[in-house]
Structure formats: C-alpha cells, structure tokens
Amino acid sequence: METWRRKKWLDIARRYPGMASDEQARLQGQMKAWSGLTPEQRQAAREKYRNVQKATPVQKEALKQMWSEYQTLPKEDREHMKEKRPAPVKPEAAQQPPAASP
C-alpha cells in the first residue's frame, strides 16, 4: 500500500471512534460499496472524481443541481434510467480478438 494511502486509512481509523453512529454507518457503507467494485470500476470512479475536481465553480453548481433533480425523481424513474444506461466495456474484453471456431 502506498504511503499516502496508508496515512489516509490510519487517519480514518483514528477519527472513527469519535464519529457519530450515523457517520460510522455511512463510512462502513461506503467502504463496503468500494470493496465490491472491480479494479476497472474503481479506476473509472477515480477518473470521474478527478474530472469533477477540475470543473469550474459554475460546472460544479450545474452538477449539484442535476444530482438534486435526480434525487427527487421517483424510484421507478431512477431505476428506469439505470436500465437504459449502457453497460461499461471492459478494456481487456475490447482488446481481445474473437475466438476462432473449430
């Protein structure tokens, strides 16, 4: 583990006992969700995060507004949007040639 990542986790561990129970539950949920991601999904999440950090204040505000609007949608509409989203292409699958038939 890289030094900076180790320091980050040690800091989280140090602060954890002082967190409110809802904060602890939120952190545990985030850690569980992250651990369930594939390496490709984690890399995509990191890239999205970097892009948001580079965004202008106006762009960030627009993203917040879009997220707020999404959260107010009924659950059925959100599920429908998830179903319509195209499946991510795995880089290794896209680079492999098709298997030859016998």
Mind listing the pLDDT tens digit for each residue in 56-69? 999 999 999 998 99
Mind listing the pLDDT tens digit for each residue in 80-92? 888 887 665 555 5
Provide the H-helix boundaries in 1-102: 3-15, 21-35, 39-54, 57-72, 75-84, 91-95
Confidence at residue 90, expressed as pLDDT on a 0 to 100 scale: 55
Mind listing the pLDDT tens digit for each residue in 11-64? 999 999 999 999 999 999 999 999 999 999 999 999 999 999 999 999 999 999
Average pLDDT over the chain reads 85
Asked whether the predicted pLDDT for residue 74 surpasses 80, the reply is yes
Question: What is the domain partition of the chain in residue ranges?
Answer: 1-36, 39-80
